[in-house]
Protein backbone atom coordinates (compact mmCIF):
# COMPACT_ATOMS: atom_id res chain seq x y z
CA UNK A 1 0.00 0.00 0.00
CA UNK A 2 2.69 2.42 0.97
CA UNK A 3 4.49 1.71 -2.26
CA UNK A 4 1.34 2.52 -4.24
CA UNK A 5 0.86 5.77 -2.32
CA UNK A 6 4.45 6.83 -3.06
CA UNK A 7 3.97 6.15 -6.76
CA UNK A 8 0.74 8.21 -6.79
CA UNK A 9 2.33 11.12 -4.93
CA UNK A 10 5.25 11.04 -7.38
CA UNK A 11 2.87 11.24 -10.29
CA UNK A 12 1.24 14.32 -8.69
CA UNK A 13 4.51 16.14 -7.99
CA UNK A 14 6.03 15.65 -11.43
CA UNK A 15 3.41 17.75 -13.34
CA UNK A 16 3.52 20.34 -10.57
CA UNK A 17 7.30 20.57 -10.83
CA UNK A 18 7.05 20.86 -14.62
CA UNK A 19 4.50 23.67 -14.32
CA UNK A 20 6.69 25.52 -11.83
CA UNK A 21 9.73 25.10 -14.09
CA UNK A 22 7.74 26.38 -17.08
CA UNK A 23 6.53 29.37 -15.09
CA UNK A 24 10.01 30.04 -13.83
CA UNK A 25 11.41 29.75 -17.36
CA UNK A 26 8.74 32.13 -18.63
CA UNK A 27 9.55 34.65 -15.93
CA UNK A 28 13.28 34.42 -16.69
CA UNK A 29 12.62 34.79 -20.43
CA UNK A 30 10.35 37.77 -19.80
CA UNK A 31 12.91 39.41 -17.51
CA UNK A 32 15.75 38.94 -20.00
CA UNK A 33 13.57 40.25 -22.83
CA UNK A 34 12.38 43.18 -20.72
CA UNK A 35 15.87 44.11 -19.57
CA UNK A 36 17.41 43.83 -23.05
CA UNK A 37 14.66 45.27 -25.29
CA UNK A 38 12.02 47.97 -25.37
CA UNK A 39 9.05 46.27 -27.03
CA UNK A 40 6.11 47.70 -28.94
CA UNK A 41 3.56 46.28 -31.34
CA UNK A 42 2.11 49.74 -32.10
CA UNK A 43 4.21 49.99 -35.26
CA UNK A 44 3.79 49.85 -39.01
CA UNK A 45 5.69 50.44 -42.23
CA UNK A 46 5.40 54.05 -43.42
CA UNK A 47 6.42 56.03 -46.50
CA UNK A 48 6.03 59.47 -48.02
CA UNK A 49 2.71 59.75 -49.83
CA UNK A 50 2.59 62.40 -52.57
CA UNK A 51 -0.75 63.65 -53.88
CA UNK A 52 -0.90 64.48 -57.59
CA UNK A 53 -3.50 67.23 -58.02
CA UNK A 54 -4.56 69.70 -60.68
CA UNK A 55 -3.88 73.43 -60.45
CA UNK A 56 -6.82 74.27 -62.69
CA UNK A 57 -10.45 73.33 -63.12
CA UNK A 58 -10.87 70.89 -66.00
CA UNK A 59 -12.23 67.59 -67.24
CA UNK A 60 -9.84 64.65 -67.20
CA UNK A 61 -9.42 63.32 -70.74
CA UNK A 62 -6.81 60.59 -70.17
CA UNK A 63 -4.97 58.81 -67.38
CA UNK A 64 -1.84 56.80 -68.06
CA UNK A 65 -1.52 54.81 -64.83
CA UNK A 66 -3.63 52.58 -62.62
CA UNK A 67 -3.34 51.49 -59.02
CA UNK A 68 -0.24 49.38 -58.43
CA UNK A 69 1.70 50.78 -61.40
CA UNK A 70 5.29 51.87 -60.87
CA UNK A 71 5.96 55.38 -62.13
CA UNK A 72 9.12 57.39 -62.68
CA UNK A 73 9.68 61.02 -61.80
CA UNK A 74 8.59 63.23 -64.71
CA UNK A 75 6.36 60.55 -66.28
CA UNK A 76 3.12 61.85 -67.81
CA UNK A 77 0.23 60.31 -65.86
CA UNK A 78 -2.79 62.61 -66.37
CA UNK A 79 -4.03 64.70 -69.29
CA UNK A 80 -6.74 67.32 -68.74
CA UNK A 81 -8.86 68.62 -71.63
CA UNK A 82 -7.28 71.84 -72.95
CA UNK A 83 -9.70 72.69 -75.78
CA UNK A 84 -11.03 75.80 -74.03
CA UNK A 85 -7.51 76.91 -73.15
CA UNK A 86 -6.36 76.64 -76.76
CA UNK A 87 -9.35 78.73 -77.90
CA UNK A 88 -8.50 81.38 -75.30
CA UNK A 89 -4.88 81.34 -76.44
CA UNK A 90 -5.92 81.93 -80.07
CA UNK A 91 -8.13 84.81 -78.91
CA UNK A 92 -5.23 86.29 -76.97
CA UNK A 93 -2.95 85.95 -80.02
CA UNK A 94 -5.50 87.86 -82.09
CA UNK A 95 -5.63 90.57 -79.42
CA UNK A 96 -1.85 90.80 -79.52
CA UNK A 97 -1.86 91.17 -83.32
CA UNK A 98 -4.41 93.98 -83.03
CA UNK A 99 -2.24 95.67 -80.39
CA UNK A 100 0.83 95.35 -82.64
CA UNK A 101 -1.14 96.90 -85.52
CA UNK A 102 -2.14 99.72 -83.19
CA UNK A 103 1.55 100.27 -82.40
CA UNK A 104 2.37 100.60 -86.10
CA UNK A 105 -0.53 102.99 -86.57
CA UNK A 106 0.49 105.09 -83.55
CA UNK A 107 4.10 105.28 -84.71
CA UNK A 108 3.00 106.32 -88.20
CA UNK A 109 0.73 108.98 -86.68
CA UNK A 110 3.60 110.25 -84.55
CA UNK A 111 5.92 110.50 -87.59
CA UNK A 112 3.16 112.34 -89.47
CA UNK A 113 2.81 114.80 -86.60
CA UNK A 114 6.57 115.39 -86.51
CA UNK A 115 6.69 116.10 -90.25
CA UNK A 116 3.59 118.27 -89.99
CA UNK A 117 5.34 120.27 -87.28
CA UNK A 118 8.29 120.84 -89.62
CA UNK A 119 5.90 122.08 -92.28
CA UNK A 120 4.32 124.35 -89.72
CA UNK A 121 7.76 125.66 -88.73
CA UNK A 122 8.40 126.57 -92.38
CA UNK A 123 4.99 128.23 -92.58
CA UNK A 124 5.69 130.26 -89.43
CA UNK A 125 9.08 131.28 -90.81
CA UNK A 126 7.44 132.48 -94.03
CA UNK A 127 4.65 134.31 -92.17
CA UNK A 128 7.23 135.87 -89.85
CA UNK A 129 9.03 137.29 -92.89
CA UNK A 130 5.71 138.54 -94.29
CA UNK A 131 4.86 140.17 -90.97
CA UNK A 132 8.28 141.83 -90.69
CA UNK A 133 7.86 143.17 -94.22
CA UNK A 134 4.32 144.31 -93.51
CA UNK A 135 5.44 145.99 -90.29
CA UNK A 136 8.12 147.94 -92.15
CA UNK A 137 5.70 148.89 -94.92
CA UNK A 138 3.02 149.90 -92.41
CA UNK A 139 5.45 152.21 -90.66
CA UNK A 140 6.26 153.73 -94.07
CA UNK A 141 2.57 154.09 -94.89
CA UNK A 142 2.96 151.76 -97.84
CA UNK A 143 0.18 149.39 -96.75
CA UNK A 144 -3.01 149.90 -94.83
CA UNK A 145 -3.71 148.99 -91.26
CA UNK A 146 -5.95 146.18 -92.42
CA UNK A 147 -3.18 144.54 -94.40
CA UNK A 148 -0.85 144.83 -91.40
CA UNK A 149 -3.44 143.24 -89.10
CA UNK A 150 -3.99 140.38 -91.56
CA UNK A 151 -0.26 139.60 -91.61
CA UNK A 152 -0.10 139.73 -87.83
CA UNK A 153 -3.15 137.49 -87.37
CA UNK A 154 -1.81 135.00 -89.90
CA UNK A 155 1.45 134.72 -87.93
CA UNK A 156 -0.36 134.31 -84.61
CA UNK A 157 -2.67 131.67 -86.09
CA UNK A 158 0.30 129.70 -87.41
CA UNK A 159 2.03 129.82 -84.03
CA UNK A 160 -1.14 128.65 -82.28
CA UNK A 161 -1.49 125.87 -84.81
CA UNK A 162 2.12 124.81 -84.12
CA UNK A 163 1.41 124.61 -80.40
CA UNK A 164 -1.65 122.46 -81.13
CA UNK A 165 0.42 120.22 -83.41
CA UNK A 166 3.10 119.85 -80.74
CA UNK A 167 0.42 118.79 -78.24
CA UNK A 168 -0.94 116.34 -80.79
CA UNK A 169 2.59 114.91 -81.24
CA UNK A 170 2.78 114.35 -77.47
CA UNK A 171 -0.56 112.57 -77.61
CA UNK A 172 0.74 110.39 -80.44
CA UNK A 173 3.89 109.62 -78.45
CA UNK A 174 1.80 108.61 -75.43
CA UNK A 175 -0.39 106.51 -77.73
CA UNK A 176 2.70 104.59 -78.84
CA UNK A 177 3.52 103.76 -75.22
CA UNK A 178 -0.09 102.73 -74.61
CA UNK A 179 -0.02 100.49 -77.67
CA UNK A 180 3.23 98.87 -76.54
CA UNK A 181 1.70 98.30 -73.12
CA UNK A 182 -1.30 96.63 -74.81
CA UNK A 183 1.09 94.34 -76.70
CA UNK A 184 2.88 93.41 -73.47
CA UNK A 185 -0.46 92.81 -71.74
CA UNK A 186 -1.59 90.56 -74.59
CA UNK A 187 1.72 88.68 -74.44
CA UNK A 188 1.34 88.27 -70.68
CA UNK A 189 -2.15 86.89 -71.26
CA UNK A 190 -0.73 84.43 -73.80
CA UNK A 191 1.98 83.37 -71.35
CA UNK A 192 -0.64 82.88 -68.63
CA UNK A 193 -2.79 80.72 -70.91
CA UNK A 194 0.27 78.73 -72.03
CA UNK A 195 1.06 78.10 -68.37
CA UNK A 196 -2.50 76.89 -67.83
CA UNK A 197 -2.19 74.66 -70.91
CA UNK A 198 1.03 73.23 -69.44
CA UNK A 199 -0.89 72.62 -66.21
CA UNK A 200 -3.22 70.31 -68.13
CA UNK A 201 -0.37 67.81 -68.31
CA UNK A 202 0.37 66.29 -64.89
CA UNK A 203 3.63 64.45 -64.29
CA UNK A 204 4.74 62.13 -61.50
CA UNK A 205 6.60 64.23 -58.89
CA UNK A 206 8.74 61.30 -57.74
CA UNK A 207 9.51 57.63 -58.30
CA UNK A 208 7.04 55.34 -56.63
CA UNK A 209 3.91 53.22 -56.86
CA UNK A 210 0.41 54.48 -57.54
CA UNK A 211 -1.33 53.71 -54.27
CA UNK A 212 -4.73 55.17 -55.07
CA UNK A 213 -6.49 56.61 -58.11
CA UNK A 214 -9.20 58.99 -56.97
CA UNK A 215 -10.63 60.21 -60.31
CA UNK A 216 -11.33 58.63 -63.69
CA UNK A 217 -11.43 60.00 -67.27
CA UNK A 218 -14.52 62.16 -67.63
CA UNK A 219 -14.44 63.41 -64.04
CA UNK A 220 -14.01 67.14 -63.49
CA UNK A 221 -10.93 67.87 -61.39
CA UNK A 222 -11.12 70.79 -58.99
CA UNK A 223 -7.99 72.85 -58.22
CA UNK A 224 -6.08 71.06 -55.47
CA UNK A 225 -8.18 67.89 -55.71
CA UNK A 226 -6.12 64.68 -55.58
CA UNK A 227 -6.18 62.59 -58.73
CA UNK A 228 -3.46 60.10 -57.74
CA UNK A 229 -1.64 59.27 -54.54
CA UNK A 230 1.90 58.05 -55.20
CA UNK A 231 3.76 56.12 -52.51
CA UNK A 232 7.50 56.65 -52.54
CA UNK A 233 8.55 53.01 -52.04
CA UNK A 234 12.22 53.92 -52.36
CA UNK A 235 12.15 55.43 -48.87
CA UNK A 236 10.37 53.20 -46.33
CA UNK A 237 10.71 53.27 -42.56
CA UNK A 238 9.04 51.81 -39.46
CA UNK A 239 6.80 54.22 -37.58
CA UNK A 240 6.54 53.35 -33.88
CA UNK A 241 4.34 55.04 -31.30
CA UNK A 242 6.16 54.43 -28.02
CA UNK A 243 5.00 55.28 -24.51
CA UNK A 244 6.56 58.42 -23.07
CA UNK A 245 7.80 56.42 -20.06
CA UNK A 246 10.16 54.44 -22.31
CA UNK A 247 11.92 57.38 -23.98
CA UNK A 248 14.46 58.21 -21.28
CA UNK A 249 17.55 56.51 -22.70
CA UNK A 250 16.71 56.43 -26.40
CA UNK A 251 18.95 58.18 -28.94
CA UNK A 252 19.49 58.49 -32.68
CA UNK A 253 21.35 55.51 -34.11
CA UNK A 254 20.25 53.07 -31.40
CA UNK A 255 19.92 49.58 -32.98
CA UNK A 256 16.67 47.67 -33.10
CA UNK A 257 15.11 44.55 -34.56
CA UNK A 258 11.58 44.07 -35.78
CA UNK A 259 9.32 41.57 -37.50
CA UNK A 260 6.48 42.03 -39.95
CA UNK A 261 3.21 40.16 -39.67
CA UNK A 262 3.48 39.39 -43.38
CA UNK A 263 6.74 37.46 -42.89
CA UNK A 264 6.51 35.50 -39.61
CA UNK A 265 9.82 34.14 -38.38
CA UNK A 266 11.87 36.73 -40.30
CA UNK A 267 13.80 39.26 -38.20
CA UNK A 268 14.71 42.59 -39.77
CA UNK A 269 17.36 44.99 -38.48
CA UNK A 270 17.41 48.76 -38.28
CA UNK A 271 18.12 51.75 -36.06
CA UNK A 272 16.43 54.85 -34.74
CA UNK A 273 16.65 57.62 -37.32
CA UNK A 274 14.25 60.15 -35.81
CA UNK A 275 12.79 60.90 -32.39
CA UNK A 276 9.42 62.64 -32.36
CA UNK A 277 9.25 66.30 -31.32
CA UNK A 278 5.75 66.00 -29.83
CA UNK A 279 3.22 63.45 -28.67
CA UNK A 280 0.71 61.99 -31.09
CA UNK A 281 -2.17 63.65 -29.23
CA UNK A 282 -0.87 67.15 -29.98
CA UNK A 283 -2.03 67.00 -33.59
CA UNK A 284 -4.99 64.66 -33.20
CA UNK A 285 -8.33 65.61 -34.71
CA UNK A 286 -9.74 66.45 -31.27
CA UNK A 287 -6.81 67.38 -28.96
CA UNK A 288 -7.19 66.70 -25.25
CA UNK A 289 -8.55 69.66 -23.29
CA UNK A 290 -8.36 69.60 -19.50
CA UNK A 291 -10.07 72.96 -18.95
CA UNK A 292 -13.30 71.27 -17.83
CA UNK A 293 -11.72 69.99 -14.63
CA UNK A 294 -12.42 66.33 -15.37
CA UNK A 295 -8.84 65.16 -15.76
CA UNK A 296 -7.76 61.59 -16.38
CA UNK A 297 -4.06 61.09 -16.82
CA UNK A 298 -3.19 59.01 -19.89
CA UNK A 299 0.26 57.86 -20.87
CA UNK A 300 1.11 59.73 -24.06
CA UNK A 301 2.80 58.18 -27.08
CA UNK A 302 5.60 59.66 -29.16
CA UNK A 303 6.40 58.65 -32.72
CA UNK A 304 9.79 57.19 -33.54
CA UNK A 305 11.12 56.38 -36.98
CA UNK A 306 13.26 53.30 -37.53
CA UNK A 307 15.27 52.52 -40.63
CA UNK A 308 14.95 49.24 -42.52
CA UNK A 309 18.56 48.16 -42.98
CA UNK A 310 18.60 44.41 -43.58
CA UNK A 311 17.62 40.90 -42.51
CA UNK A 312 19.22 39.21 -39.51
CA UNK A 313 19.53 35.70 -41.01
CA UNK A 314 21.71 36.81 -43.91
CA UNK A 315 18.90 36.98 -46.45
CA UNK A 316 18.71 39.86 -48.88
CA UNK A 317 16.27 42.64 -48.05
CA UNK A 318 15.24 42.85 -51.73
CA UNK A 319 13.80 39.34 -51.45
CA UNK A 320 10.92 40.70 -49.35
CA UNK A 321 8.13 42.85 -50.73
CA UNK A 322 7.62 45.43 -48.00
CA UNK A 323 4.60 47.69 -48.44
CA UNK A 324 3.54 50.85 -46.69
CA UNK A 325 1.05 50.15 -43.91
CA UNK A 326 2.24 46.64 -42.97
CA UNK A 327 2.02 45.89 -39.24
CA UNK A 328 5.27 45.40 -37.33
CA UNK A 329 6.49 44.31 -33.88
CA UNK A 330 9.53 46.26 -32.75
CA UNK A 331 12.27 45.57 -30.22
CA UNK A 332 14.68 48.41 -29.51
CA UNK A 333 17.95 47.19 -28.03
CA UNK A 334 18.70 48.98 -24.77
Provide DSSP, 107-170: HHHHHHHHHHHHHHHHHHHHHHHHHHHHHHHHHTTSS-HHHHHHHHHHHHHHHHHHHHHHHHHH
Mean pLDDT along residues 173-182: 83
Distance CA 290, CA 276 (A): 23
Torsion of CA 200, 205, 207, 209, to 10 degrees: -60
Q: What is the mean pLDDT of residues 17-39?
A: 73
Residue ranges of alpha helices (H) inside the chain are 2-36, 83-139, 145-198
Q: What is the pLDDT of residues 288-321, one digit of tens each?
A: 666 666 667 788 889 999 999 999 887 888 889 9
221 pLDDT higher than 90: yes
Whole-number pLDDT of residue 37: 85
pLDDT band for 226, please (50, 70, 90 cuts).
very high
pLDDT of residue 304: 93
**Cβ neighbours of 227 (radius 10 Å):** 21
pLDDT of 159 strictly over 60: yes
Amino acid sequence: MEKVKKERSGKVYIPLILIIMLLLGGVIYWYIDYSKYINSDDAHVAANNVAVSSKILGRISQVFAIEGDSVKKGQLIVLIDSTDMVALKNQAISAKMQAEAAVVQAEAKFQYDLKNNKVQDITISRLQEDFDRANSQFKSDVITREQYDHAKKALETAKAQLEADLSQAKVSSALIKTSHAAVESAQAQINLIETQINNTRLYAPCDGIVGKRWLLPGDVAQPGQSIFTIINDRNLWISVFLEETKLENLHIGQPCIFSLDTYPGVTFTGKIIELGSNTAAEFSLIPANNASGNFTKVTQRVELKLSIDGVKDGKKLTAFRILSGMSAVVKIIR
